[in-house]
Amino acid sequence: MKRFKNILCHYTKTDGTAALDRAVRLARENRAKLTVVEVIHALPRKYGSEKAPAIKELYDKTLTGSQNHLEQIIKPWRKRGIRVRCKVLKGVPFVEIIRKVLCDKHDLVITAVETRKKFKEMVFGTTAVRLIRKCPCPVWAIKSTQTKSFRRIIAAVDPDPEDAGKTALNKKIIELASSLAEIEKSELEVVHCWSKYPELLLGFGYSDIPPTQVNCILRDAKKLHKKLLDEFMNTISLRRGHCQQKLLAGDPGIQIPKMAKREKADLIVMGTVCRVGIPGLLIGNTTEKVLDLVNCSLLTVKPDGFVTPIKPSK
């Protein structure tokens, strides 16, 4: 499936190679247009005056150097027939990238993330976090050490047949994950993480239900979530044997990263705006906690109707 037609790649000289490689490959696979941008922070007004000509000259040379560098990078891809162009943007990176998305109607942003040596120190850069929260189109945050191919992809869904918006978002997640798995010839695992809500209620200490009955309640809850996942997956058209389904119990912000590390996942596809469940963890105070634990790339999807708080350029 040719899902993306107008891709934007956020390039940085220090961490951008893996993101650019992925963007070029995806543009070739989808026969899509590709725009590569680097964002230079805007020159403060006080330095734009005649009082600081040396700083203004340095800034102008930085802009020119960045543009020339991007032109050299994309030159080989142009020769291979890929429709690629480049542009240097000025301002706050995540703001200017989103404005570019709004102006040129990009359907995917690919950005690099900072990678450090130890797993516990893996962090997603501020630009990636803000794009995940506020960019209206899907955002693919690529780890700078990411290999060129993905062997295992995890699609995280939260089935709820009574919530049409959530169902549509789940279908988007599966659509993207399965499409990429087919292109990459990857293993695809669809995971639903359910919280042990009965245990949460028992934590208040107002119930004298015996442990045996609690275990029975938990088994029934697990059966319910399995049924919800099965029913949702029955509405999805996938090749037979194309994916596996898994249920995880507990906090999805902890369990999903654990699963990704345990099974050496290369990519997680998940939603970013929802009232409850996995997507909700990406909005608010738990965002950095979740992202810090993920030792792989992340492709995030917005629900229909999402409106970014960033305003287009005038």
Residue 250 confidence (pLDDT):
84
CATH code, domain carrying 185 = 3.40.50.620
pLDDT in tens, 256-300: 889 988 999 999 998 886 444 444 444 443 345 556 677 788 898
pLDDT in tens, 168-205: 999 999 999 998 888 888 899 999 988 776 666 665 55
Residue 73 confidence (pLDDT):
94
**Which stretches of the chain drop beneath a pLDDT of 70?**
1-2, 49, 114-125, 145-148, 197-207, 239-242, 273-292, 314
Last residue of some domain: 100, 120, 148? 148
Residue 130 confidence (pLDDT):
87
What is the pTM for the complete model shown?
0.86
Closest-CA residue to 142 (of 158, 131, 156, 134): 131
Last residue of some domain: 112, 128, 148? 148
Judgement on whether residues 286 and 171 belong to the same structural domain of the protein: yes
Judgement on whether residues 134 and 170 belong to the same structural domain of the protein: no
Judgement on whether residues 6 and 117 belong to the same structural domain of the protein: yes
- Contact predicate 165/279, CB 8 Å: no
**Which domain does 134 fall in, by range?**
1-148
Judgement on whether residues 132 and 203 belong to the same structural domain of the protein: no
Judgement on whether residues 71 and 112 belong to the same structural domain of the protein: yes
Judgement on whether residues 90 and 33 belong to the same structural domain of the protein: yes
Residue 288 confidence (pLDDT):
52
Q: Is 134 strand, coil or helix? A: helix
Q: Report the domain count for the chain.
A: 2
Rounded-to-integer distance, Cα 256 and Cα 293, Å:
9
Closest-CA residue to 308 (of 157, 136, 76): 136
Residue 49 confidence (pLDDT):
67
Judgement on whether residues 199 and 311 belong to the same structural domain of the protein: yes
Judgement on whether residues 141 and 192 belong to the same structural domain of the protein: no
Query: Which residues have a Cβ under 8 Å from the Cβ of 304 and sit 6 or more positions away?
Result: 165, 168, 169
CA angle 74, 106, 20 (to 5 degrees): 30
Judgement on whether residues 106 and 181 belong to the same structural domain of the protein: no
Judgement on whether residues 259 and 274 belong to the same structural domain of the protein: yes
